[in-house]
C-alpha cells in the first residue's frame, strides 16, 4: 500500500473515497481523521460529554477495523444488553481485540503464514525444508519432479540401481552392485536442488545393507568405505556414503538417516495424475517407485502408509483455516472447517483396509512374516540417529499439536517429542504456529457452542478414539505383531514391545493404550480405562439425544418394525452411509416398577445411591457428556439404566447370596439349562418377595442406609447398535433415522407356568413400543446417550461408479436406506435383493419405488409367505405385480444367478468386481450365503470348493461386507464339554477344522475365517487355543457385532479346569502342562504359517527360469532359526521346568516301595542336539545360508535345495505334530486323575507325575528321531539336477578352493552325517542329577540384555545384535520366564531338595516296578522307565481299557462307547512294532485308569537299571507317520464326538453347578 493510500479502503492517489468532491482532507488525506474534521465533533459523532473525543474516535476506528476483520460482531440487541449489564467498558473490551490480535489479523493466521512462506520458497529449494502447501499438504505437488531431475543428473546411477534392486536381491547380489557404483558427489553443482528428495530416497534405500544379514562377507572387490564420515556411514561404500552425507547436510539433516516418509510418501508414483477424488495418493492410484524387495508385502505396506499421508493432503489447509476462524471469531466458518478436518481424519484409517492380513487379497496382502524384514532393514545407522517410526509422518505430530496434547510421557510420547526435533523446519514451524497461537480447542471450550464442541469431540474420536485412527491402528498392529511375533519377529521398528514382556505384541498394545490415553486426557481427563474396554460400553455414547417420532414403515398394523427418528440438532454429530448408532437403552417403567415395588423403593426413587466403581465412572461420564459436574445418581437412575433383563448367571447368583439361598424361585432359575434366562429381575423379585422371610429380605435390601447394595446388584446396561437409515446432505444433520424391529421372546416357564407370555427386548421395545401400549403413551422426554460408530467394513466404495448389490432380510433394509439415499445419481448400478414375509411387511416400499422409477435402484423381491409377488421391470423402471410362489431370498438369488456371479467375481476373474452387502438376521445371512454359493456353482464353477474360493477373494478384497444384527442368543450350559486337548487338535490344517476357545466356550470358525474383517491369518494364529485374552485386548469380547456372529459358530463349552480338591501340586502341574500344550499348538500353527508362505509361492523360488534367492533365503531363515535354537520353545526351559517339577514330585513322593530313578530327559535332548546327525543337518543348512549371498553356486543345486526344503518342512511338521499329540495325551490325564482310587493325595500325585514324565521322555526321544531322519537328506543330489556333471564339478571346484578336497576324495557326499552311532549314556538318572542338570541349564540360560540407556540405543541394539540363538523375542521372553520360575522353585524348595538328594537310593526303582506291574516286554531294547502312557488319544476319552480295569476304577463316566473300539482296532504299538519309544500309546481316556489299576496291584520290584534308549530310524519314522494318521483321524472326528459327562454326572448336574458356585441346594 502506498503512503498516500487510504488506510481503510486502500484506495490510492491520496483521494478520499468517501469525500464526494474527491477532496484531500486531513493530514493524511482522509476525511475521517479527527484531526482534520472541522465543526462540532461531539455532535457529528455523537460523543458523550464525559468522554475525550480523541479517545472516542480512536476507539471507534478500532471498532471499524473489528467490523471489517471480525465477522461475528454481535447484534445490536446483544451489544445493548451487554452494555446494560456489564457497562460500556466491558463492551469495548469484548468488541476490541488486543494489539497483538490486530497485528496477527493484519498479517494473517500464523499457520497460514507458514504455509504461504513454504509455498514461496519450496519450489526454488527443492522443498528441502519439508513439503508444505495448502493444496498438497505434506505431499509433493508433483511426485515425479524430483525423480525426473535426478534422472537428468549424474545421480542417475543411484536411481538406476534402485530400479535393479529387487532383481539384485533375488540374485543375492546387493553388495556387489553397490560396490560397483562410481562415486558421484552430492554437491549442488552435480545434484540440483530439484533432485534433492529423490537423491535422498534413492541413496537411503541402498546404504549398503540389504536388510537381511545373511552374510557378513565383504564384497569381492575392494571398495573405499566412508568410515571417515561419521559413525553412521561406517562400513558403507564411499559411492553411497559420500553423496548421502552431502545430500543429508543440504536437506538440513545434521546426520544422515532414513525416515518413514522418505520410504513411503516420497517413494511413490501416481498411476493416473488426473484421478484426484477424494485424494490423488490413494492406494489404488499409486505404485512404489523404487521397491527394495518388490513383493506384495513391501508394496502394500509402503503404499498403505503413503495412502494415510495422502489422505491428510488437505489437513494442513483445514487446520490453518480453523485458526483463521478462531482469530476472526467466526463460529460458523470454524464449524465448517472442523467438520472438514473430521472427515479428513475419518478417512485416514482407510489405509488399514488396504494393508490386508488375508493372503487371498492379492496386491493388498502383507505377510506378517515378511514384515519382519523391516526390523533389520530400517535399523538406524547409528545410535545418534532416529529409527523409522510411524510418528515420523508429519500428520500425527501436527494433529497432536492441533489438539493440544500435553503429555508425552509414554514410550511413544517420548518418541514423538524426540522425532519432532528431527522434522524439517517447515513442519516444525507449522506445529509451533498451531500449538502456540490461537489454539482451537481452547477457543471451542470457551465458546460454549455445542456444535463446535461436538465437532471437536468428533475430531478427537476420529483421531485417537478407540474406533478412530489410533484405535484401529492399535488393533491392526496387534494382529500383525501377534502373527509375526510367533513366527520369529524380534521387535518392532521402533523397538516398542521390546521389553521383557511375555508377549511383545501385548506390550506394544499397552504402549499404544498409554499414548492414546495421553492424547485423550485434555478432553476426557484421566480415564483409568484401556481403550478396548470402552468398546460395547457406555463410553461409546458421548452425545445426548431424544426420540422425536416413530412412524410406520410398512402396512403391518402391529408396527413390529418402525422408523424411529432421533433428535441430534446442534450436537455436532455427522455420519456416513453404513455407520451405526450406539444407544444406551432405558428400561420400561413397568420393569422399573416391578423392582421398586418388590424392594420397597417405590417411595424412594429420587434418593441418591452410593455407587460402586462402574456406576461412579458412569456418573462421571454423564457429567462429561453433559459438560456439567458429575451428577448424583438416584434409585430411579439405577433402575432405568441398569441391566434388569434377561437374567444373567452373575445377577442371579448375587441375588441368591443376598437372600442367603432362601428363595426357591432363585434356585429354580439357577437350575436353568441355558444362560441368560429369559425373564427380568422384576420377575424374580416379585416371586421371591413372597417366599423369603421378611427378616432376610430386610437385611438384604436395607432401606435405611445408602443403597450401595442396589448399585452392586444391578450392573449398567450395555449400548445396543442400530444401523443408521438416512443420509442427509446437510453439513450438520439435525436428525438420525433408525429402523427398529421389536424383538420378542417367550418368558421362561419358571414365571409363565404353562401359558405362553411374550416379552419384548429392552431396547427395541423402548424405541419401538407395542402400538397403543402403556409404553407408547409415556412422553419421550428421556435423554438418551448415543454415539456414532463406523464399522470396519460396511462402507460404500469410494468410487461411485463401482456397482453395489445389497441383500436384506426384513429390517435388514435399515442401512441400505442410507445407501440408496447417498448413491442416488451415482454412475454405478445399485441393486437391492429383499426378502420379507409378505407384502404388508415390505418396508419403505413407497420411497423405494420412487428410486426405482428414477432409475437409481433395481429392486428384486422374495416374499416367503405371500404369492402376491413383485417383479422388477428394467424397461419400465418399475416394480410390477406378478404372481410368484412364496420363496426365500436364496431362491431369488438363484433366479438372478448370472448377475450375482458377475458382481461377486473380481475384475481379474472377469467379473464386475462389485461391492456386496448383506444385512439382516443370522438366518438371512445363511440364506443369502447359500444362495450365492449355489449361484456361483450353477453358473461359473464345477465344485462348491471353487465357489467358496471365489467368495473368499471377494471377502479378502473387502468387496463383500456383512452387517449381521442378530441378538446374542442364550447358550446351553449343560451340553457336553470339550477338553483342551480336543481344542488343541483343531488347528485348521491338514483337513482339521479351525476351533478357537473364548471365555469358556469353543467355536468352530472354519467357515467364518475367510470372512473375518481382520484377516484370516490372525484367526488362524489363534487356532486350537483359548484366545480369551486376545479377544479382550481386541475389544472383541464386548463388540456386539462379534458376539452376535460368534453365537453362530458355538459348538460347546470348554471343559473347565477340574476341581483338584485343593491339591495345589496337581493344580500347579495342570497349569504348567496346559501352558506347554498351548505352546506346542502355537508353535505348530506358527510353523505352518511360515511354511505355507514360502513353500506355497512359486514366484518366491523362481523368477522366470532363474532361481530366486528370495525363497532360498526364507527357507534358510526359517530352518536355521529352528535348528539354532533347537526348537527352543518346546525343548527349552519350558520343558525343563515341567521336568524339574515332575521329578521333584516323584522324588518327594518316593517311598521305599517307590523308585527314585528318573528318565534322563535333559540328557536325551542335549545328546540329540549335539549328535552327529544334528551337526550334519546344521552344516547342510549353513551351506544354504552361504548360497543366499552367492547365488552363483546355488544354481548348481537348484533342485537339491528345493527338495531339501520340502523334506525339512515335512519332517519339522511331523515332529511338531507328534509333540502336540503327546502334550494332548498328558493333558487328558488331568481330567481323570481325581477319579483314581489312590490311597493318598501323595500317591495320586505320584501316579500323575510318573505318567507325565514318561510323556516328556517320549517328546525328548522324538527330537533324536527327527535329527536322524533329517540327516539322511542333503542338497547335494546331482542326479536330480538339470546338469549333474556341472553340479559335481562345481562341488569339486569349491572343495579345492576351500582346501577340503582331500576329504572329498574320501567321501563325495556333502552330507556329514556319517555312520550313525548308537545313542550313548544312561536313560535314567537320580534326582540329584536332575537338579544339577537344571542348575547348569539355568546358569547357561541367556541373560536378558541389560536395559539400554536411551531410545536410540535400544533401536540400534535391536537392529545390530544377532538374535539370541535365533529365538524370537516371544520365545526369549517365554524361556526367560521359565528359567526364572525354575530358579524361584529351586530356591523355595531348597530344604526339600537337599533332603531328597541326600536320600539313600531306594531299593526299588520305577523301572523295576514297571517290569513287574507294567507291561513287561522282554524283546525291548531298553527298559521302560516309568508307567505307561496311553496308546492313542481318543476325543471321547473312555473310562477304561477293558471291563476288568474299568471295574476297579471309580470313574466319572466319559463317553464309554468309542474307546473300546479304538483299542481293539489298534493293538499296543509296542507289540506291533517293537518300538523304542518308552511306552506304547493307547486310548487316552482309558490309559490312566488302566495304568494306575496296574500300579495298585504293585508287586515285587525288579532291579534292572534302564539301558540306554536308542530308536532306530526305521522304527521311529513309521511310528511317527502312523501317529500322524491317527491324529488326523482324531481331529476329523469333529464336534460330533464331544466329551460328555456320564449319566451319573449329568443327573446331578444342577447339584454340581450349584456346588461349583458354592451354593447349597435346598430342594
Ligand atoms: C451391527 C448390528 C446392527 C444392528 N442393526 C439393527 C437395526 O438396524 N435394527 C434393529 O432393529 N436391530 C438392529 N440390531 C440389533 C439390536 O442391536 C439389538 O440387538 C436388538 O434391538 C435387540 O435388543 P433388545 O435390547 O431389544 O433385546 P434384549 O432381549 O433386551 O437383549 C437381549 C440381551 O442380549 C444382549 N444384547 C442385545 N443386543 C445387544 C447388543 N447390540 N450388544 C450387546 N449386547 C446385546 C443384551 O445383553 C441383552 O441382555 C443390530 C445389531 C448389530 C450387532
Ligand atoms: C499393519 C501395518 C502397521 C503396523 C504393523 C504398524 C506397526 C506399528 C508399531 C509396532 C508401532 C509402534 C512404534 C514402533 O515400535 O515402531 C507403530 C506406531 C505408529 N504407527 Fe504404525 N503400523 C502399521 C501401519 C501404520 C500406518 C499405515 C500408519 C500411517 C501412516 C502408521 C502410523 C503409526 C503411528 C502414527 C504410530 C505412533 C502411534 C502413537 O503415537 O500412538 N502405522 N506402528
Ligand atoms: C481368533 C482370534 C481373532 C483375532 C486375533 C481377531 C483379530 C481382529 C482384528 C485385529 C481386527 C481389526 C482388524 C483391522 O483393523 O483391520 C478384527 C476385526 C473384527 N473381527 Fe476379529 N479376530 C478374531 C476372531 C474373530 C471372530 C471369531 C469373530 C466373529 C465371529 C471376529 C469378528 C470381527 C469383526 C466383526 C471385526 C470388525 C470389527 C469392527 O468393525 O470394528 N473376529 N479382528
Q: Report the distance separating Cα 1426 and Cα 1154, nearest Å.
A: 11
Q: What pLDDT score was predicted for residue 1092?
A: 83
275, β-bridge pairs = none
Q: Report the distance separating Cα 102 and Cα 96, nearest Å.
A: 9
How much distance in Å is there from the Cα of 892 to the middle of ligand 2? 45
Q: Residue 171 to residues 1061, 1107, 1137, 1145, 1191: CA-CA distances in angstroms?
A: 63, 8, 45, 56, 6
Of ligand 1's listed atoms, the one at least distance from the Cα of 678 is 29
How much distance in Å is there from the Cα of 390 to the middle of ligand 2? 5
**Could you tell me which of 478, 1508, 1458, 515 has the C-alpha nearest to residue 1035?**
478
Of ligand 1's listed atoms, the one at least distance from the Cα of 1038 is 43
Pocket test for ligand 2, best of 306, 473, 492, 1356 (most atoms within 8 A of CB): 473
Is the confidence at residue 755, as pLDDT, over 70? Answer: yes
- Among 53-62, 589-598, 1125-1134, 1494-1503, the least confident range: 1494-1503
Pocket test for ligand 3, best of 484, 1034, 1082 (most atoms within 8 A of CB): 1034
- Among 580-594, 934-948, 1538-1552, the least confident range: 1538-1552
What is the residue with the minimal CA distance to atom 42 of ligand 2? 390
Q: Residue 1280 to residues 1087, 1285, 1288: CA-CA distances in angstroms?
A: 28, 11, 12
H runs (alpha helix) in 940-1013: 944-956, 980-984
For the stretch 20-29, pLDDT in tens is: 455 544 433 3
Residue 846 CB contacts under 8 Å (≥ 6 apart), including other chains: none
Of ligand 2's listed atoms, the one at least distance from the Cα of 496 is 15
**Could you tell me which of 504, 506, 526 has the C-alpha nearest to residue 517?**
526
How much distance in Å is there from the Cα of 1277 to the middle of ligand 2? 46
**Could you tell me which of 1558, 1139, 1075 has the C-alpha nearest to residue 1330?**
1139
480 CB near ligand 3 (under 6 Å)? no
How is residue 916 written as a grid cell? 456386496
Q: Report the distance separating Cα 856 and Cα 831, nearest Å.
A: 9
Residue 646: is the preceding peptide bond cis (ω within 30°)?
yes
1478 CB near ligand 2 (under 6 Å)? no
1019 CB near ligand 3 (under 6 Å)? yes
- What's the whole-number mean pLDDT along residues 920-925? 90
Q: Report which secondary-structure segment, H or E, holds 870.
A: strand 868-873
Selected residue with higher pLDDT from 780 and 1056 = 1056
For the stretch 1430-1458, pLDDT in tens is: 333 333 333 333 333 333 322 222 233 33
Is the confidence at residue 1298, as pLDDT, over 70? Answer: no
What is the residue with the minimal CA distance to atom 21 of ligand 1? 764
Is the confidence at residue 1562, as pLDDT, over 60? Answer: no
For the stretch 429-441, pLDDT in tens is: 999 999 998 999 9
Q: Residue 221 to residues 176, 178, 412, 551, 1191: CA-CA distances in angstroms?
A: 8, 11, 43, 82, 17
Q: Report which secondary-structure segment, H or E, holds 268.
A: strand 268-270
Specify the pTM: 0.83
Q: What pLDDT score was predicted for residue 777?
A: 82
380 contacts 371 by C-beta, under 8 angstroms: no
User: Do the bridges between strand 580-583 and strand 915-920 make them parallel or antiparallel, or are there none, so unpaired?
Assistant: unpaired
How much distance in Å is there from the Cα of 309 to the middle of ligand 2? 13
Q: What pLDDT score was predicted for residue 185?
A: 96
743 CB near ligand 1 (under 6 Å)? yes
Residue with the three cell numbers 485386548: 1033
Is the confidence at residue 449, as pLDDT, over 70? Answer: yes
Ligand showing the shortest atom-to-Cα distance for residue 816 = 1
How many CA atoms within 13 Å lie on the side-chain side of 680?
A: 26
- What's the whole-number mean pLDDT along residues 455-484? 94
Q: Report the distance separating Cα 788 and Cα 791, nearest Å.
A: 10
Ligand showing the shortest atom-to-Cα distance for residue 1046 = 3
Q: Which of the 8 DSSP states describes residue 1011?
A: G
The model's confidence at residue 1496, banded by pLDDT at 50, 70 and 90, is very low
The model's confidence at residue 871, banded by pLDDT at 50, 70 and 90, is very high
Helix (H, G, I), strand (E, B) or coil at 802: coil
The model's confidence at residue 406, banded by pLDDT at 50, 70 and 90, is very high
Of ligand 2's listed atoms, the one at least distance from the Cα of 368 is 5
Q: What pLDDT score was predicted for residue 62?
A: 67
**Mean pLDDT taken over the chain:** 80
Is the confidence at residue 212, as pLDDT, over 70? Answer: no
The model's confidence at residue 44, banded by pLDDT at 50, 70 and 90, is low
Report the residue count for the chain.
1563
Residue 143 CB contacts under 8 Å (≥ 6 apart), including other chains: 266, 268, 269, 270, 281
Is the confidence at residue 34, as pLDDT, over 80? Answer: no
Q: Report the distance separating Cα 156 and Cα 163, nearest Å.
A: 11
Helix (H, G, I), strand (E, B) or coil at 787: strand
What is the residue with the minimal CA distance to atom 17 of ligand 1? 721
1011, β-bridge pairs = none
For the stretch 146-155, pLDDT in tens is: 999 999 999 9
Selected residue with higher pLDDT from 1421 and 217 = 217
How much distance in Å is there from the Cα of 778 to the middle of ligand 2? 50
791 CB near ligand 2 (under 6 Å)? no
Q: What pLDDT score was predicted for residue 1383?
A: 79
Residue 278: is the preceding peptide bond cis (ω within 30°)?
yes
Of ligand 3's listed atoms, the one at least distance from the Cα of 1018 is 5
**Could you tell me which of 687, 1253, 1315, 794 has the C-alpha nearest to residue 1013?**
794
Q: Residue 34 to residues 30, 43, 747, 878: CA-CA distances in angstroms?
A: 9, 13, 86, 75
**Could you tell me which of 605, 602, 620, 644 has the C-alpha nearest to residue 766?**
644
Q: What pLDDT score was predicted for residue 961?
A: 95
What is the residue with the minimal CA distance to atom 27 of ligand 1? 761
- Among 3-17, 123-137, 1046-1060, 1529-1543, the least confident range: 1529-1543
Is the confidence at residue 595, as pLDDT, over 70? Answer: yes
H runs (alpha helix) in 600-672: 613-626, 635-641, 649-658, 664-670
Of ligand 1's listed atoms, the one at least distance from the Cα of 815 is 8
The model's confidence at residue 913, banded by pLDDT at 50, 70 and 90, is very high
* DSSP assignment of 1135-1172: HHHHHHHHHHHHHHT--TTS---EE-HHHHHHHHHHSH
- Among 460-469, 695-704, 1147-1156, 1158-1167, the least confident range: 1147-1156
The model's confidence at residue 1370, banded by pLDDT at 50, 70 and 90, is low
355 CB near ligand 2 (under 6 Å)? yes
For the stretch 494-504, pLDDT in tens is: 444 444 445 77
Share of the chain above pLDDT 70, in %: 77
Q: Which of the 8 DSSP states describes residue 153?
A: S
- What's the whole-number mean pLDDT along residues 832-854? 97
498 CB near ligand 2 (under 6 Å)? no
The model's confidence at residue 192, banded by pLDDT at 50, 70 and 90, is very high
Helix (H, G, I), strand (E, B) or coil at 1099: coil
Is the confidence at residue 246, as pLDDT, over 50? Answer: yes
Is the confidence at residue 1149, as pLDDT, over 90? Answer: no
1317, β-bridge pairs = none
**Could you tell me which of 545, 537, 536 has the C-alpha nearest to residue 564?**
545
How much distance in Å is there from the Cα of 780 to the middle of ligand 1? 21
Q: Report the distance separating Cα 55 and Cα 59, nearest Å.
A: 6
How much distance in Å is there from the Cα of 512 to the middle of ligand 2? 9
- Number of Cβ within 10 Å of residue 1503's Cβ equals 10
Amino acid at each position: 500500500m502506498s503512503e498516500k493510500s487510504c488506510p481503510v479502503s486502500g484506495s490510492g492517489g491520496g483521494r478520499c473515497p468517501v469525500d464526494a468532491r474527491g477532496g484531500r482532507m486531513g493530514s493524511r488525506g482522509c476525511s475521517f481523521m479527527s484531526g482534520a474534521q472541522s465543526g462540532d465533533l461531539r455532535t457529528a459523532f455523537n460523543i458523550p460529554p464525559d468522554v475525550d473525543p480523541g479517545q472516542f474516535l480512536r476507539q471507534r476506528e478500532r471498532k471499524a477495523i473489528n467490523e471489517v476483520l471480525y465477522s461475528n460482531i454481535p447484534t445490536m440487541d446483544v451489544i445493548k444488553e451487554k452494555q446494560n449489564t456489564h457497562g460500556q467498558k466491558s463492551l469495548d473490551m469484548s468488541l476490541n481485540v488486543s494489539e497483538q490480535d490486530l497485528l496477527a489479523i493484519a498479517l494473517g493466521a500464523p499457520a497460514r503464514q507458514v504455509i504461504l512462506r513454504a509455498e514461496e520458497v519450496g519450489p526454488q529449494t527443492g522443498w528441502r525444508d519439508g513439503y508444505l502447501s495448502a493444496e498438497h499438504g505434506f505431499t509433493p505437488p508433483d511426485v515425479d519432479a524430483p525423480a525426473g531431475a535426478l534422472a537428468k543428473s549424474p545421480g542417475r546411477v543411484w536411481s538406476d540401481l534402485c530400479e535393479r534392486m529387487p532383481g539384485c536381491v533375488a540374485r543375492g547380489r546387493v553388495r556387489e552392485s553397490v560396490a560397483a557404483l562410481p562415486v558421484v558427489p552430492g554437491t549442488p553443482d552435480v545434484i540440483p536442488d530439484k533432485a534433492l528428495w529423490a537423491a535422498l530416497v534413492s541413496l537411503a534405500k541402498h546404504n549398503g545393507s540389504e536388510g537381511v544379514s545373511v552374510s557378513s562377507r565383504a564384497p569381492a572387490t575392494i571398495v573405499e568405505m566412508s568410515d571417515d564420515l561419521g559413525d553412521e556411514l561406517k562400513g558403507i561404500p564411499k559411492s553411497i556414503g559420500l553423496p548421502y552425507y552431502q545430500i543429508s547436510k543440504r536437506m538440513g539433516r545434521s546426520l544422515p538417516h532414513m525416515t518413514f516418509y522418505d520410504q513411503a510418501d516420497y517413494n511413490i508414483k501416481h498411476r493416473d495424475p488426473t484421478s484426484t477424488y477424494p485424494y490423488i495418493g490413494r492406494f489404488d492410484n499409486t505404485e512404489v517407485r523404487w521397491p527394495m524387495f518388490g513383493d506384495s508385502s513391501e508394496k502394500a505396506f509402503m503404499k498403505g502408509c503413503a495412502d494415510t499421508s495422502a489422505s491428510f493432503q488437505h489437513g494442513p489447509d483445514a487446520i490453518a483455516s480453523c485458526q483463521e476462524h478462531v482469530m476472526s471469531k467466526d463460529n460458523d466458518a470454524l464449524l465448517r472447517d472442523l467438520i472438514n478436518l473430521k472427515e479428513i481424519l475419518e478417512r485416514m484409517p482407510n489405509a488399514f483396509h488396504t494393508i490386508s492380513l488375508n493372503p487371498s487379497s492379492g496386491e493388498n496382502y502383507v505377510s506378517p512374516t515378511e514384515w519382519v524384514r523391516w526390523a533389520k532393514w530400517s535399523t538406524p545407522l547409528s545410535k545418534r540417529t532416529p529409527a523409522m517410526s510411524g510418528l515420523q509422518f508429519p500428520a500425527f505430530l501436527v494433529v497432536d499439536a492441533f489438539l493440544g496434547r500435553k503429555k508425552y510421557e509414554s514410550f511413544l510420547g517420548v518418541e514423538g517429542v524426540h522425532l519432532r526435533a528431527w522434522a524439517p523446519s517447515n513442519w516444525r514451524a507449522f506445529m509451533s504456529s498451531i500449538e502456540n497461537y490461537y489454539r482451537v480447542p481452547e477457543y471451542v471450550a470457551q465458546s460454549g457452542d455445542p456444535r463446535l464442541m461436538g465437532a471437536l469431540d468428533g475430531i478427537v474420536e476420529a483421531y485417537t478414539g478407540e474406533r478412530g485412527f489410533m484405535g484401529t491402528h492399535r488393533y491392526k498392529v496387534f494382529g500383525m505383531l501377534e502373527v509375526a511375533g510367533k513366527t520369529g519377529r524380534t521387535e518392532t521398528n521402533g523397538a516398542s514391545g521390546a521389553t521383557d514382556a511375555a508377549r511383545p505384541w501385548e506390550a506394544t498394545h499397552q504402549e499404544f493404550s498409554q499414548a492414546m490415553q495421553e492424547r485423550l486426557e485434555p478432553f476426557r481427563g484421566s480415564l483409568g480405562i484401556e481403550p478396548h474396554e470402552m468398546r460395547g460400553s457406555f463410553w461409546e455414547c458421548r452425545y445426548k439425544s431424544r426420540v422425536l417420532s416413530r412412524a410406520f414403515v410398512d402396512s403391518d398394523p402391529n408396527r413390529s418394525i418402525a422408523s424411529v427418528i432421533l433428535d441430534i440438532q446442534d450436537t455436532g454429530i455427522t455420519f456416513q452411509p453404513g455407520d451405526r448408532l450406539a444407544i444406551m437403552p432405558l428400561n420400561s417403567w413397568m420393569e422399573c416398577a416391578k423392582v421398586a415395588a418388590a424392594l420397597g423403593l417405590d417411595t424412594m426413587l429420587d434418593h441418591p445411591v452410593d455407587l460402586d466403581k462402574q456406576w461412579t465412572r458412569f456418573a462421571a461420564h454423564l457429567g462429561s457428556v453433559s459438560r456439567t459436574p458429575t451428577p448424583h445418581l438416584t434409585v430411579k437412575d439405577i433402575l432405568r439404566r441398569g441391566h434388569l433383563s434377561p437374567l444373567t448367571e452373575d445377577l442371579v447368583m448375587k441375588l441368591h447370596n443376598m437372600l442367603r439361598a432362601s428363595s426357591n424361585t432363585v434356585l429354580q432359575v439357577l437350575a436353568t439349562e441355558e444362560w441368560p434366562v429369559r425373564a427380568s429381575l422384576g420377575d424374580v423379585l416379585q416371586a421371591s418377595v413372597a417366599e423369603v422371610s421378611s427378616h432376610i429380605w430386610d437385611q438384604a435390601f436395607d432401606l435405611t442406609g445408602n443403597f450401595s447394595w442396589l448399585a452392586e446388584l444391578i450392573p449398567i446396561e450395555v449400548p445396543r447398535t442400530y444401523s443408521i437409515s438416512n443420509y442427509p446432505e446437510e453439513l450438520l444433520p439435525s436428525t438420525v433415522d433408525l429402523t427398529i424391529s421389536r424383538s420378542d421372546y417367550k418368558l421362561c416357564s419358571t414365571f409363565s407356568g404353562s401359558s405362553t407370555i411374550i416379552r419384548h427386548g429392552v431396547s427395541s421395545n423402548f424405541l419401538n413400543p407395542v402400538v397403543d401400549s402403556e409404553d407408547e403413551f409415556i412422553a419421550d422426554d428421556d435423554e438418551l446417550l448415543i454415539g456414532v460408530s463406523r464399522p470396519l467394513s460396511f462402507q460404500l466404495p469410494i468410487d461411485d461408479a463401482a456397482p453395489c448389490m445389497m441383500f436384506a432380510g426384513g429390517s435388514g433394509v435399515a442401512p441400505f436406506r442410507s445407501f440408496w439415499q447417498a448413491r442416488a445419481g451415482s454412475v454405478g448400478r445399485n441393486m437391492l435383493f429383499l426378502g420379507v414375509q409378505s407384502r404388508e411387511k415390505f418396508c419403505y416400499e413407497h420411497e423405494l419405488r420412487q428410486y426405482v422409477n428414477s432409475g437409481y435402484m433395481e429392486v428384486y423381491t422374495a416374499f416367503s409367505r405371500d404369492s402376491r409377488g413383485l417383479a422388477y421391470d428394467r424397461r419400465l423402471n418399475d416394480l410390477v405385480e406378478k404372481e410368484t410362489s412364496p420363496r426365500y431370498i436364496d431362491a431369488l438369488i438363484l433366479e438372478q444367478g448370472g448377475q450375482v456371479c458377475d458382481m461377486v467375481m473380481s475384475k481379474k476373474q472377469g467379473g464386475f468386481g462389485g461391492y456386496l452387502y448383506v444385512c439382516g438376521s443370522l438366518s438371512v445371512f445363511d440364506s443369502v450365503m447359500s444362495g450365492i454359493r449355489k449361484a456361483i456353482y450353477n453358473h461359473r464353477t464345477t465344485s462348491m470348493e471353487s465357489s467358496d474360493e471365489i467368495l473368499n477373494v471377494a471377502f479378502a478384497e473387502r468387496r463383500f461386507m456383512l452387517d449381521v444384527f442378530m441378538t446374542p442368543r442364550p447358550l446351553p450350559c449343560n451340553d457336553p464339554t470339550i477338553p483342551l486337548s480336543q481344542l488343541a487338535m483343531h488347528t485348521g490344517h491338514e483337513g482339521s477344522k479351525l476351533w478357537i476357545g473364548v471365555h469358556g466356550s469353543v467355536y468352530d470358525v472354519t467357515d467364518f475365517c475367510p470372512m473375518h474383517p481382520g484377516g484370516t491369518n490372525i484367526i488362524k494364529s489363534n487356532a486350537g487355543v483359548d484366545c480369551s485374552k486376545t479377544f479382550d485386548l481386541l475389544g472383541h469380547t464386548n463388540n456386539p457385532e462379534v458376539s452376535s456372529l460368534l453365537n453362530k459358530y458355538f459348538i460347546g463349552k470348554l471343559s473347565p479346569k477340574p476341581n483338584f480338591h485343593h491339591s495345589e501340586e496337581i493344580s500347579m502341574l495342570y497349569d504348567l502342562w496346559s501352558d506347554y500344550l498351548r505352546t506346542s499348538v502355537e508353535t505348530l500353527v506358527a510353523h505352518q504359517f511360515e511354511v505355507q508362505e514360502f513353500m506355497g509361492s512359486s514366484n518366491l523360488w523362481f523368477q522366470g527360469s532363474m532361481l530366486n534367492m528370495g525363497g532360498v533365503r526364507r527357507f534358510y531363515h526359517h530352518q536355521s532359526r529352528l535348528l539354532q535354537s533347537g526348537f527352543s520353545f518346546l525343548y527349552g526351559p519350558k520343558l525343563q521346568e515341567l521336568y524339574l517339577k515332575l521329578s521333584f514330585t516323584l522324588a518327594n513322593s518316593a517311598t521305599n516301595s517307590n523308585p527314585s530313578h528318573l528318565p534322563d530327559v535333559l540328557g536325551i535332548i542335549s545328546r540329540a542336539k549335539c549328535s552327529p546327525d544334528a551337526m550334519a543337518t546344521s552344516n547342510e543348512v549353513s551351506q544354504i545360508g552361504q548360497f543366499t549371498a552367492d547365488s552363483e553356486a546355488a544354481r548348481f543345486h537348484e533342485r537339491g535345495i528345493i527338495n531339501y526344503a520340502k523334506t525339512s518342512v515335512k519332517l519339522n511338521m511331523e515332529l511338531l505334530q507328534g509333540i502336540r499329540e503327546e502334550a494332548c495325551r498328558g493333558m487328558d490325564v488331568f481330567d481323570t486323575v481325581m477319579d483314581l482310587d489312590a490311597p493318598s493325595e501323595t500317591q495320586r500325585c505320584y501316579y500323575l507325575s510318573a505318567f507325565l514324565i514318561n510323556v516328556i521322555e517320549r517328546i525328548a526321544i522324538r527330537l533324536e528321531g527327527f535329527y536322524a531322519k533329517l540327516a539322511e537328506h542333503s542338497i547335494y543330489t546331482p542326479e536330480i539336477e538339470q546338469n549333474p556333471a556341472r553340479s559335481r564339478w562345481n562341488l569339486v571346484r569349491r572343495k579345492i578352493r576351500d582346501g577340503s578336497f582331500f576329504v572329498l576324495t574320501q567321501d563325495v557326499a556333502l552330507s556329514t552325517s556319517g555312520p550313525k552311532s548308537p545313542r550313548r549314556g544312561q536313560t535314567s538318572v537320580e534326582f540329584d542329577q536332575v537338579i544339577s542338570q537344571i542348575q547348569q541349564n539355568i546358569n547357561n540360560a541367556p541373560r536378558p540384555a541389560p536395559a539400554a540407556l536411551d531410545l536410540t540405543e535400544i533401536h540400534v541394539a535391536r537392529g545390530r545384535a544377532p538374535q539370541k540363538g535365533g529365538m524370537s523375542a516371544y520365545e526369549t521372553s517365554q524361556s526367560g520366564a521359565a528359567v526364572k520360575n525354575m530358579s524361584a522353585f529351586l530356591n523355595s524348595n531348597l530344604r526339600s531338595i537337599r533332603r531328597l538328594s541326600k536320600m539313600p537310593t531306594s531299593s526299588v526303582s520305577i523301572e523295576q516296578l514297571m517290569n513287574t506291574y507294567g507291561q513287561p516286554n522282554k524283546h525291548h531294547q531298553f527298559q521302560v522307565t516309568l508307567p505307561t502312557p496311553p496308546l492313542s488319544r481318543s476325543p471321547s476319552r473312555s473310562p477304561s481299557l477293558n471291563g476288568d480295569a474299568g471295574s476297579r476304577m471309580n470313574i466319572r463316566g466319559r463317553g464309554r462307547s468309542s474307546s473300546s473300539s479304538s483299542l481293539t482296532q489298534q493293538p499296543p504299538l509296542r507289540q506291533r512294532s517293537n518300538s523304542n519309544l518308552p511306552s506304547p500309546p493307547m486310548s487316552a481316556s482309558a490309559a490312566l485308569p488302566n495304568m494306575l489299576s496296574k500300579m495298585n496291584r504293585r508287586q515285587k520290584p525288579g532291579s534292572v537299571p534302564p539301558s540306554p534308549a536308542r530308536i532306530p530310524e526305521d522304527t521311529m519314522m513309521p511310528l511317527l507317520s502312523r501317529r500322524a494318521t491317527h491324529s488326523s483321524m482324531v481331529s476329523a472326528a469333529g464336534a460330533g464326538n464331544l466329551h460328555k459327562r456320564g449319566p451319573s454326572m449329568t443327573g446331578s448336574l444342577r447339584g454340581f453347578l450349584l456346588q461349583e458356585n458354592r451354593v447349597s441346594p435346598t430342594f
